[in-house]
């Protein structure tokens, strides 16, 4: 019902103000405003429900309250970042040289939901998409107030129909790099790029296929980091500098863990994107994988090297939980079947911000590979005594190290905190005994990441 | 009842009448049961209490062979001349005793060929140290084993977990310890995955146990007496028999029926039990074997450190448990260069003719248990199928024929190879160099700040590459060391390779390292033990064989090859006389070592007073030209295809690879003209060599992925080819090769598609693909969805990915992709077996390496005739029609009522497809008999 009403209004309005528009879809925007927040909400929901994914206020989950009461009111958001926005739109117009009257609501139009859904679903690879404008707003909010800071670069991974891209730009982002791996979305994104004044750069690149391991030709969407960064003119920065790039996107469901492992290895050895500084990730990952990521010592089942390394390297913050249904999927199987014991009803927007002090006390990118190996060896089994592991690497050194650490002799590897592992490694690395240990040899043999760095 | 001296006849008769009621015949007891020790005699005694005249009637397994192909072979034997071995009966019986003692020991220790090197002071010191340590380790392990057995004996038996205690009581404690010590000595420096190590240990215990069992059952004595009688058939100084070895063995076993049954006493342990036992032993080794850390360098603090450690390596997201030796141990082992190697006894060739296969469970080695059919660890479906199968006589007989071929070592060649091996090796001649020739592992300190990050990354990569290279070199070197040491140990012996087969019927010699299936090097050091005159044409065959080994003159007629050989006689004689210091002509051959051996044989023959009278031991090979395609072309009676793979007589050999290369070149030229960059780049690079491997393997189911890798490798070998285009070019080429093949072999394509689609639908319907070869060998494809089974040992949980479990649904992708190649393999193995049987009945020596047949120079012509006749006979059978009938009968006899259901639709589709046998072309199969280059 409400959609129909909406359409009627839309038609009416179209005839009224057709000269102001960029396209048909802009009209719907014009409609939204006069009708006001409440009816907007209603119509939005009904559209979405028909597609079997809802975004009612409850399902927004725990992150929502932080948004404040007006989170569903695009209007009030739009009005707040005032001058910068107006300026951007002005210049965009100026560049294009189009003669067009200025309009108070001259924002990038997000496109019609149905059309975006259709385009997303037409994607040949299995991918999740942010199509819902409210969801996009929410993500933009979470990227923080420094969005409008000219220094912040945002890498948006696989924007697809570009709803989040536009939302970010509308929110005042000064430099968005859209890395799209699927050719079919490129054209529209590039068109958008052309209409703007440098706030958006579009690259045919899949962030999750950066620095491929295998041999063979590297063709887009696969790419080497240095090429990407050089092309974008981003230079290396010190680890302790401010965050140079924020990455936002949805981690592909295929091989989530493998991807996260690959990234954390790169982080410790400062390879791949991490050569360029503390790259912050804001990724949607499955709830299951998120829970594993943040498992604490003592939960023997899930406390693994994977989580320990990420916790050691980054401040991890859960920004938001969104039910799977809120995303559009380009496959029939939208919600993953959760076989395991962990709940998996949501995608979690997680911020992984590398710690500035990670490399300040003895850990260096070159000895980090030993740390990786040590953590992996320790946590292959969680219910073994740490002292046994240590003695295996350097006989009789275990009790000395443990007393230096102030740990009890019978502590299990699954009870040691990530910070403690880091400290333990720093002690080991200083001691002469351990540098002779085979542990140091081992890393070199097992580094199968030759395509890196 | 038999054992009890005053057993009442009433008890016995009641027992017999009960048996009668239950439909059990007394004869069946004797025919079907496995008896140990004197059980059989006691049974007979008991029965005779009631029926004093009773004689068990034994069925003689004389049921006729069902296959039409070999009916005549078995029924009309008038003109068969079965070959005799060149030994007296006494000699054979003596050899049997020696082989028996080797197998009873289960392991054999031989001199390493490296022993010839002078002993340095350091070597002596290391050897001494190791010997001391070993005594220590033995003591410690023995004690640990006893203690842990005590604990196990007392532990709660109601525990749901398997208690290994009984498995630790099968052998003497010391034997377990010896097995463990042996595995330490054989551990590669880069370690071994726990699963493999455990499996090997478990298997060793099982083998040893079987051998002991046979002792205790008094089987060994009976085996000896049957074997002694059996030698009568083989020896040269006895009468001529008109029965086959299998038939004779059966007869003898019937005659000597008292005592234990020889057949099929043991059943193998479940894979998981073998593994668990092995893991238990590994755990014991890791916990107990230690060494002083200052043993090599007194500067280090003295600590008692383990020599083996359990750790993990990480392969993407999987972690694999590994057992690694401590670097100190590795260093000691390498520097000691120990002069002795210890092997399991089945690694050695046999010293007497193998026991003929007479049933699924009995044959090959004397005591060591051997499977008739090699399978994936733990797969039982093949064996079940074979046991149900009534008549495998032709299969047994051909395996026996292959196993009965006696071999000896080509000593002059072995000496040359060992001299190079002990010097610096030679990559060019495929003699792996010692580790001292390995690239030095660059040393760098990651803490050193004078390097930039990228320099460090680069150095790190260098270290990784160097290490990888080292471990590859080590494993190649060890492999060669084993082969050469075994050969050297056998240098004055005459020996036999018992054979078994894989699940498609392809035959293999059982000893794993040293056999005639191996590389050029091992093939070159083997010759037939029996010598035969060269005869009038033998020398010519040797020369043609030599030219074949060089890889030259592929497109010349036999006469052309012979003439070429005659023009290069000087080079040939020079190679034979001065192999290492002369002109080294042989080194440039495709198969240099076999070529050298052939040069020497030719030199000896031409220098003998009458070459026709020269006694030659040399095997001459005849190769099928692209054998897979030959079978396809014959199945489809495809004229063009048949011509291109030499089923059709021609003056010069047709070369399918050149044909494909030509076709690809045409496609490329067309593409280049239309402006395709990569096609232009490839101009002048498309040769026979580039496409050969891919064409050869396409019939065996190589995918585009694999094909691309093959082509990539070839392109990389061409120095002039621009490296940056290798990837694109290989992609492009593999596509074109597939297209060219499709155009050239239309019939092949159709059959391949029909097979693939049939397998897909069968698998979809939930069945595994099965068929029966024309010789009656049942075949089942063991590909199922993977099931994970976790072995929870104290040391580590081992995850077993079991993909052969018949209770799981079939893996459709594998079932369908593997069916065409497996089917073709089952045909080529059938052809080989037929050839082998008929060669046997013609009295000639015959062995095979799949589609390459070997015989004496004298008998090449006869073998060629047999080979062609049997090919024609095989393909004169309606093979595809029979396959279709079999599959229809197997998968489409159930009745489905609901005509509308989806299932029914699928069922109908399957039925229609199976019934629709591909059409055949007009090729006249008989022409094969005249084709010179069919096998050449």
ipTM reported for the complex, 2 dp:
0.73
CB A329 within 8 A of CB A267: no
**With an 8 Å Cβ cutoff, is B456 touching chain A?**
yes
Least confident of B366-375, B608-617, B792-801: B792-801
pLDDT band at B792 (very low <50, low <70, confident <90, very high): confident
pLDDT recorded at residue A369: 81
Q: Is B464 within 8 Å of A447 when comparing Cβ atoms?
A: yes
A40 pLDDT higher than 80: no
Closest alpha carbon to B887 in B762, B753, B754, B752: B762
Gap between the Cα atoms of A247 and A244, Å rounded: 10
**Rounded mean pLDDT, B587-593:** 93
Q: In this prediction, what percent of chain A has a pLDDT beyond 70?
A: 69
Please pick, among B397, B520, B828, B851, the residue that the annotation labels catalytic: B851
- Tell me: the pLDDT tens digits for A5-20? 545 444 444 444 444 3
* Chain A residues bordering chain B (beta-carbon distance below 8 Å): 215-217, 257-258, 261, 270-271, 275, 364-367, 376-377, 380-381, 392, 395-396, 438, 441-442, 444-448, 450, 452-453
| Facing residue for A257 by CB, picked from B305, B314, B317 | B317
pLDDT at B509 over 60: yes
Give the integer Cα–Cα distance in Å for B351 and B98: 7
Contacts of B463 in chain A (CB under 8 A): 444
pLDDT in tens, B168-206: 998 999 999 999 999 998 888 888 899 999 999 999 999
The verdict on a CB contact (< 8 Å) between B303 and A447 is no
Which of B305, B324, B463 is facing A444, going by the closest CB pair? B463
Decide if pLDDT at A106 tops 60. no
Question: CATH 3.40.50.150 residue ranges in chain A?
Answer: 113-354
**Chain B residues with beta carbon closer than 8 angstroms to that of A377:** 311-312
What is the structure's pLDDT at B346?
92
Indicate the range of A7-11, A286-290, B354-358 predicted with least confidence. A7-11
Least confident of B620-629, B737-746, B776-785: B737-746
Which H or E element spans position B359? strand B355-359
Strand partners for B935: B624
Establish, for the pair of chains A and B, how many residue pairs have beta carbons separated by less than 8 Å: 61
- The 10s digit of each residue's pLDDT in B464-495 is 788 888 888 988 999 999 999 999 999 999 99
Specify the range with the lowest mean pLDDT, choosing from A300-309, A330-339, B357-366.
A330-339
Q: Which residues of B touch A366 (CB under 8 A)?
A: 446-447, 453, 456
CB distance B91 to B234 below 8 Å: no
Confidence band, pLDDT 50/70/90 cuts, at residue A103: very low
B453 touches chain A (CB under 8 A): yes
Residue window 138-197, chain B: list those with CB within 8 Å of chain A.
Answer: 190
Q: Which residue has the higher pLDDT, A78 or A341?
A: A341
Q: Which of A130-139, B231-240, B257-266, B569-578 has the lowest mean pLDDT?
A: B257-266
Per-residue pLDDT at B417: 95
Give me the pLDDT at residue B522, please: 94
User: Measured between CB atoms, which of B305, B314, B446 is closest to A366?
Assistant: B446
The two tokens of residue B859 are 């008998």
Structure confidence at residue B316 (pLDDT):
62
pLDDT class of B617 with cuts at 50, 70, 90? very high
Q: Residue A25, Cα to own-chain centre: how many angstroms?
A: 28
Say yes or no for a CB contact (<8 Å) between B460 and A447. yes
Q: Is residue A187 marked as binding?
A: no
Q: Return the biggest CA–CA distance within chain B.
A: 101
Any known ligand binding at A128? yes
Residue-wise pLDDT for A172-190, tens only, equals 888 999 999 888 899 889 9
**Average pLDDT value over all residues in chain A:** 74
Residue with the bigger pLDDT between B177 and B32: it is B177
Residue located via tokens 């005590």? B150
Over residues B96-119, mean pLDDT:
88
Residue B302 confidence (pLDDT): 73
Catalytic residue among B86, B623, B805, B861: B623
* Residue A133 distance to chain B (closest CA, Å): 36
Q: Do A444 and B314 touch (CB under 8 A)?
A: no
pLDDT at A113: 81
* A367 contacts B447? CB cut-off 8 A: yes
Q: How confident is the model at residue A147 (pLDDT cuts 50, 70, 90)?
A: confident
Phi, psi dihedral angles at B820 (to 5 degrees): -55, -50
Report whether pLDDT(B822) > 70: yes
Query: Is the pLDDT at A54 greater than 80, yes or no?
Result: no
Beta-carbon-side half-sphere exposure of residue B858 (alpha carbons within 13 Å): 18
pLDDT of residue B799: 86
Closest chain A residue to the Cα of B731, Cα to Cα: A216
Q: What is the mean pLDDT of chain B?
A: 87
Look-up of token digits 């780049």: B681
Cβ-count burial B61-89 (b if 16+ within 10 Å, e if not): beeebbbebbeebbeeeeeeebbbbebeb
pLDDT tens profile A342-383: 888 889 999 999 999 999 888 888 788 888 888 888 888 888
Mean pLDDT of B742-767: 89
A142 is in an annotated binding site: no
pTM of the model: 0.82
Contact B313 A446 (CB under 8 A): yes
The pLDDT of residue B294: 77
pLDDT in tens, B529-565: 999 999 999 999 999 999 999 988 888 899 999 999 9
Residue B828 annotated to the active site: no
What is the tally of helices (H) and strands (E) in chain B? 33, 23
CA-CA distance, B497 to B364, in Å (whole number)? Answer: 9
Q: How many CB atoms lie within 10 A of CB B508?
A: 17
How big is chain B, counted in residues? 936
Does the annotation count B623 as an active-site position? yes
Helix-, strand-, coil-residue percentages of chain B, each rounded to 5: 55, 10, 35
Q: Tell me the shortest Cα–Cα distance from B313 to chain A, in angstroms.
A: 7
Inform me whether the pLDDT recorded for A255 exceeds 70.
yes
pLDDT tier at B158, thresholds 50, 70, 90:
low
Kindly report the nearest CA distance between residue B137 and chain A, in angstroms: 19
Smallest Cβ–Cβ distance between B316 and the set A258, A395, A444 belongs to A258
Q: How far apart are CA B391 and CA B593, in angstroms?
A: 42
Percent of chain B with pLDDT over 70: 95
Q: Please name the residues in contact with A340: beta carbons below 8 A apart, sequence gap of 6 or more.
A: A288
Vertex A373, ends A420 and B317: CA angle to 5°?
110
CA distances from B401 to B77, B89, B368 (A): 16, 19, 20
Q: List chain A residues with CB under 8 Å of B306.
A: 392
Which residue on chain A is closest to B314 by alpha carbon?
A: A446
Architecture of the A363-447 domain: Orthogonal Bundle (1.10)
- A212 or B730, which is more confident? B730
State the number of CA atoms in the 13 A half-sphere of B175 facing the CB.
19
Average pLDDT over residues A147-170: 87
Backbone angles phi, psi at B534, to 5 degrees: -70, -35
Report the gap between the CA of A271 and the closest CA in chain B (Å). 10
| Residue B652: pLDDT over 60 | yes
Confidence at B820, pLDDT banded by 50, 70, 90: very high
Residue B63 binned pLDDT confidence (cut-offs 50, 70, 90) = low
Q: Does residue B157 have a pLDDT over 50?
A: yes
Which region among A114-118, A335-339, B163-167, B702-706 has the lowest average model confidence (pLDDT)?
A: A335-339
Q: Residue range B598-616: average pLDDT?
A: 94
> SS3 for A153-165, per residue?
EEEEECCCCCHHH
Q: Closest CB to A395: pick one of B305, B313, B447.
A: B305
Give B-chain residues touching A453 at CB under 8 angstroms.
453-454, 457
Annotated binding-site residue? A180: yes
Collect all residues of chain B within an 8 Å Cβ-Cβ radius of residue A448: 315
Residue of A nearest to B327 (CA): A438
More confident residue, B50 or B650: B650
Residue B391 has pLDDT above 70, yes or no: yes
- Chain A partners within 8 Å of B313 (Cβ): 445-446
Instruction: Decide if A381 and B796 are in contact by the 8 Å CB cutoff.
Output: yes
pLDDT confidence tier of residue B297, bands split at 50, 70 and 90: confident
Q: What is the pLDDT of residues A211-221, one digit of tens each?
A: 876 666 677 88
Q: B439 falls in which pLDDT band (50, 70, 90)?
A: confident
Q: Is B343 helix (H, G, I), strand (E, B) or coil?
A: strand
Out of A380-394, B334-348, B386-400, B827-841, the most confident range is: B827-841
Helix axes B173-185, B194-216, angle to 10 degrees: 140
Please, which residues bridge with residue B792 across strands?
B797
- Which band of pLDDT confidence, cut at 50, 70 and 90, is reported for residue A117? confident
Note the pLDDT of residue A67.
38
**B314 interfaces chain A, CB cutoff of 8 Å:** yes
CA nearest to B455 within chain A: A453
Considering only residues B219 and B416, tell me which one the structure prediction assigns the higher pLDDT: B416
Which fold does the domain A113-354 belong to in CATH?
Answer: Rossmann fold (3.40.50)
How many CB atoms lie under 10 A from the CB of residue A8? 11
pLDDT of residue B351: 95
Amino acid B61: pLDDT: 53
CB contacts, 8 Å: B189 with chain A: none
Q: Is the pLDDT of residue B109 over 70?
A: yes
**Best residue in B326, B446, B455, B726 for a mutation probing chain A (most A CBs within 10 Å):** B446
In the set B397, B692, B811, B816, the catalytic residue is B692
3-state secondary structure of B93: helix
Nearest CA in chain B to A429: B447
**Mean of pLDDT values over B785-803:** 87
Give the distance from residue A395's alpha carbon to the nearest chain B alpha carbon, in angstroms: 7
Q: Which residue has the higher pLDDT, A69 or B649?
A: B649
């Amino acid at each position: 019902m409400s959609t129909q009403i909406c359409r009627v209004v839309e038609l009416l309005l179209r005839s009224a103000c057709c000269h102001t528009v960029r396209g048909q879809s802009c009209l719907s925007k014009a409609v939204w405003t006069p009708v006001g927040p409440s009816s907007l909400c209603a119509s939005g929901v009904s559209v979405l429900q028909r597609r079997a994914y809802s975004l009612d206020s409850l399902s927004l989950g725990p992150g929502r309250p932080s948004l404040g009461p007006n989170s569903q009111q695009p209007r009030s958001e739009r009005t707040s970042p005032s001058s910068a926005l107006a300026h951007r739109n002005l210049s965009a117009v100026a560049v294009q040289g189009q003669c067009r009257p200025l309009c108070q609501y001259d924002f990038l139009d997000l496109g019609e939901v149905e059309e975006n859904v259709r385009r997303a679903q037409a994607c040949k690879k299995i991918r999740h998409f942010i199509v819902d404008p409210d969801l996009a707003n929410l993500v933009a909010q979470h990227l923080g107030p420094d969005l409008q800071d000219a220094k912040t670069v945002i890498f948006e991974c696989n924007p697809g129909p570009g709803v989040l891209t536009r939302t970010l730009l509308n929110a005042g982002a000064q430099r968005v790099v859209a890395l799209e791996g699927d050719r079919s979305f490129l054209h529209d994104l590039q068109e958008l790029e052309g209409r703007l004044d440098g706030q958006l750069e579009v690259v045919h690149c899949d962030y999750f296929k950066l620095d491929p391991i295998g041999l063979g030709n590297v063709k887009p969407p696969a790419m080497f980091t240095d090429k990407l960064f050089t092309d974008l003119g981003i230079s290396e920065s010190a680890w302790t500098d401010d965050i140079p790039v924020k990455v936002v996107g949805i981690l592909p469901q295929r091989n989530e863990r493998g991807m996260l492992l690959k990234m954390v290895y790169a982080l410790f050895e400062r390879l791949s994107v991490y050569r360029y500084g503390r790259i912050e990730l804001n990724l949607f990952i499955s709830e299951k994988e998120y829970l594993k990521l943040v498992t604490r010592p003592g939960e023997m089942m899930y406390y693994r090297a994977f989580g320990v390394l990420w916790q050691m390297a980054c401040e991890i913050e859960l920004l938001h939980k969104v039910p799977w249904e809120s995303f559009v999927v380009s496959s029939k199987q939208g919600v993953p079947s959760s076989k395991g014991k962990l709940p998996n009803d949501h995608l979690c927007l997680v911020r992984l911000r590398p710690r500035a002090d990670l490399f300040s006390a003895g850990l260096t990118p070159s000895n980090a590979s030993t740390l990786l190996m040590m953590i992996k060896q320790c946590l292959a089994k969680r219910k073994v005594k740490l002292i046994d592991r240590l003695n295996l690497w350097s006989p009789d050194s275990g009790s000395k190290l443990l007393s230096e650490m102030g740990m009890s002799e019978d502590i299990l590897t699954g009870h040691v905190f990530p910070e403690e592992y880091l400290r333990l490694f720093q002690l080991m690395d200083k001691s002469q005994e351990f540098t002779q240990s085979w542990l140091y040899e081992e890393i070199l043999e097992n580094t199968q990441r030759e395509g890196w760095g | 009842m038999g054992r009890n001296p005053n057993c009442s006849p009433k008890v016995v008769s009641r027992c017999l009448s009960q048996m009668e009621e239950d439909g059990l015949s007394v004869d069946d007891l004797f025919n079907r049961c496995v008896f140990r020790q004197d059980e059989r005699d006691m049974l007979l005694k008991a029965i005779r209490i009631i029926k004093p005249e009773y004689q068990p009637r034994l069925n003689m397994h004389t049921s006729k062979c069902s296959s039409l192909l070999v009916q005549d072979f078995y029924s009309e034997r008038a003109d068969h001349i079965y070959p005799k071995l060149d030994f007296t009966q006494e000699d054979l019986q003596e050899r049997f005793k020696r082989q028996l003692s080797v197998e009873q020991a289960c392991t054999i220790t031989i001199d390493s060929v490296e022993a010839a090197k002078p002993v340095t002071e350091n070597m002596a010191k290391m050897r001494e140290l190791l010997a001391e340590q070993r005594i220590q380790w033995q003591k410690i392990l023995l004690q640990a084993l006893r203690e842990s057995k005590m604990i196990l004996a007392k532990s709660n038996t109601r525990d749901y977990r398997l208690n290994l205690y009984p498995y630790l009581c099968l052998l003497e404690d010391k034997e377990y310890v010896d097995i463990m010590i042996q595995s330490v000595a054989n551990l590669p420096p880069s370690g071994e995955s726990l699963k493999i190590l455990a499996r090997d240990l478990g298997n060793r215990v099982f083998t040893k146990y079987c051998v002991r069992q046979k002792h205790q059952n008094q089987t060994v004595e009976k085996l000896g007496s049957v074997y002694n009688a059996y030698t009568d058939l083989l020896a040269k100084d006895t009468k001529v028999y008109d029965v086959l070895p299998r038939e004779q063995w059966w007869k003898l076993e019937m005659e000597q029926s008292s005592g234990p049954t020889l057949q099929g006493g043991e059943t193998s342990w479940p894979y998981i039990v073998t593994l668990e036992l092995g893991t238990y032993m590994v755990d014991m080794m890791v916990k107990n074997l230690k060494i002083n850390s200052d043993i090599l360098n007194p500067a280090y603090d003295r600590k008692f450190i383990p020599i083996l450690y359990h750790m993990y390596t990480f392969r993407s997201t999987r972690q694999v448990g590994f057992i690694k030796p401590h670097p100190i141990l590795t260093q000691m082992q390498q520097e000691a260069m120990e002069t002795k190697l210890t092997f399991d006894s089945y690694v050695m060739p046999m010293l007497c003719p193998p026991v003929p296969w007479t049933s699924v469970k009995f044959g090959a080695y004397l005591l060591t248990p051997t499977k008739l059919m090699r399978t994936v660890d733990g797969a039982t479906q093949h064996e079940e199928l074979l046991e149900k199968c009534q008549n495998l006589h032709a299969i047994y007989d051909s395996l026996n024929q292959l196993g009965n071929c006696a071999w000896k070592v080509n000593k002059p060649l072995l000496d040359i190879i060992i001299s190079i091996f002990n010097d610096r090796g030679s990559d060019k001649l495929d003699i792996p160099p010692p580790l001292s020739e390995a690239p030095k592992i660059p040393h760098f300190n990651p803490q050193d700040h004078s390097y930039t990050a990228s320099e460090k990354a680069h150095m790190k990569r260098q270290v990784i590459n160097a290490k990888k290279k080292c471990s590859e070199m080590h494993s190649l070197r060890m492999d060669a060391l084993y082969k050469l040491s075994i050969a050297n140990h056998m240098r004055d012996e005459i020996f036999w390779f018992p054979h078994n087969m894989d699940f498609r019927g392809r035959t293999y010699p059982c000893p794993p390292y040293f056999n005639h299936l191996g590389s050029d090097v091992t093939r070159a050091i083997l010759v037939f033990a029996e010598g035969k005159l060269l005869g009038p044409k033998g020398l010519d065959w040797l020369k043609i064989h030599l030219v074949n080994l060089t890889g030259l003159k592929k497109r010349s007629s036999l006469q052309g090859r012979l003439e070429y050989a005659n023009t290069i006689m000087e080079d040939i004689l020079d190679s034979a006389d001065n192999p290492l210091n002369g002109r080294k002509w042989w080194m440039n051959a495709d198969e240099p070592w076999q070529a050298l051996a052939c040069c020497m044989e030719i030199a000896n023959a031409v220098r003998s007073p009458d070459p026709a009278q020269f006694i030659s031991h040399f095997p001459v090979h005849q190769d099928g030209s692209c054998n897979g395609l030959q079978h396809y072309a014959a199945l489809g009676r495809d004229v063009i295809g048949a011509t291109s793979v030499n089923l059709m007589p021609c003056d010069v050999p047709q070369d399918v690879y050149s044909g494909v290369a030509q076709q690809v070149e045409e496609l490329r030229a067309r593409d280049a003209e239309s402006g395709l960059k990569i096609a232009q780049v490839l101009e002048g690079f498309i040769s026979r060599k580039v496409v050969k491997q891919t064409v050869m393997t396409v019939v065996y189911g190589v995918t585009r992925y694999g094909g691309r890798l093959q082509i990539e490798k070839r392109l990389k070998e061409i120095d002039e080819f621009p490296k940056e285009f290798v990837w694109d070019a290989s992609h492009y080429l593999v596509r074109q090769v597939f297209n060219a093949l499709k155009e050239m072999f239309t019939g092949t394509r159709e059959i391949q598609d029909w097979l693939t689609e049939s397998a897909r639908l069968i698998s979809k319907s939930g069945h595994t693909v099965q068929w029966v070869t024309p010789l009656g060998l049942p075949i089942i494809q063991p590909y199922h969805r993977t099931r994970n089974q976790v072995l929870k040992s104290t040391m580590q949980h081992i995850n077993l990915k079991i993909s052969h479990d018949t209770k799981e649904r079939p893996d459709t992708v594998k079932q369908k992709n593997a069916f065409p190649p497996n089917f073709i393999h089952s045909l080529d193995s059938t052809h080989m077996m037929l050839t082998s049987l008929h060669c046997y009945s013609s009295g000639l020596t015959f062995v095979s390496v799949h589609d390459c047949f070997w015989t004496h120079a004298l008998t090449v012509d006869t073998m060629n005739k047999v080979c062609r006749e049997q090919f024609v006979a095989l393909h004169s059978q309606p093979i595809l029609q029979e396959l279709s009938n079999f599959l229809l009968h197997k998968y489409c006899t159930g009745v489905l009522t609901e005509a509308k259901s989806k299932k029914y639709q699928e069922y109908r589709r399957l039925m229609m497809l199976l019934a629709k046998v591909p059409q055949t072309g007009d090729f006249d199969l008989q022409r094969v008999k005249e084709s010179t280059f069919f096998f050449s």
